[in-house]
Amino acid sequence: MIFQQRILECGNKRKEWYIEILDILTKPEYDCCYFMLWSNYSREGSYYTPFIAEKNQNGTYHGHEMLDYFIEMYNSSKSVFASDQSAIIRDVNAGKIVVPQVLGYEELSGYITAPISNKFISEKTELKARVNKKVTEAEFRVVGKEEEVVIPAKVKNRQVTAILTKENIKKMKETANGKIELYADGKKLASINVLLNVDIPEMEIDTVDNFENYFGLDTLLNGSWAINKDSGCELNLSNTKEK
């Protein structure tokens, strides 16, 4: 059996497909956070969204045969498009829109936004994080090979910030297995790996990679080489001392 994986330029049998999928995705039992369509590339049948071919003087549009149904989905109170987000967030913060309680969202959570994972740190560094609800206190913990430095953080509008000073960095021994952890109200919320006081070996200008800059850590190796994989594909690399 052959399944249609894209919309055709004409002759689509389920022209109301976008309304159907909207009704499915907005059912509470599915708890979907977003729905993303692919991009249109050519007129050889590779369509994933209806297109506008012409805008009439009276303000109406002419285009793909499923365009009216797509516009109906766009105008639905169930849908929020990317272009609507700023206005929606503004109305939520102003109390004009009441956001329903999402299962699990009442639990305190957060994530580190700066620095990025596997960053080399040897100088003064700004630490940033975000939490999902108001907290009384927060802190970052920099964990080295044997040491741990606790840095109290400021919290404003769910943004958590602090400064990792050069004096604190000097307290840490050289390690490629360092961590920065986020704590709020006594709960550990997030952790990232960092390289503390590690010197990056220089490479010859004509060398693509000498594979000595990963300090035996497979996470660093895969972060540099196992990227931009096609969906469904795996690429797992590991360091070795053998040539």
> Tell me: the pLDDT tens digits for 13-36?
899 999 999 999 988 888 788 888
For the chain, give the mean pLDDT. Answer: 86
Residue 1 reports pLDDT greater than 50: no
Residue 105 reports pLDDT greater than 60: no
What is residue 100's predicted lDDT score, i.e. its pLDDT? 66
Q: Under CATH, what is the fold of the domain 110-196?
A: Immunoglobulin-like (2.60.40)
Residue 162 reports pLDDT greater than 70: yes
Distance CA 86, CA 81 (A): 10
Residue 239: exposure state from Cβ atoms within 10 A (0-12, 13-18, ≥19): middle
So where are the chain's domains?
Answer: 17-93, 110-196
Distance CA 195, CA 148 (A): 14
> Tell me: the pLDDT tens digits for 197-209?
887 777 788 888 8
Query: Distance between the two ends of the chain, CA-based, in angstroms?
Result: 49
CB atoms within 10 A of CB 33: 6
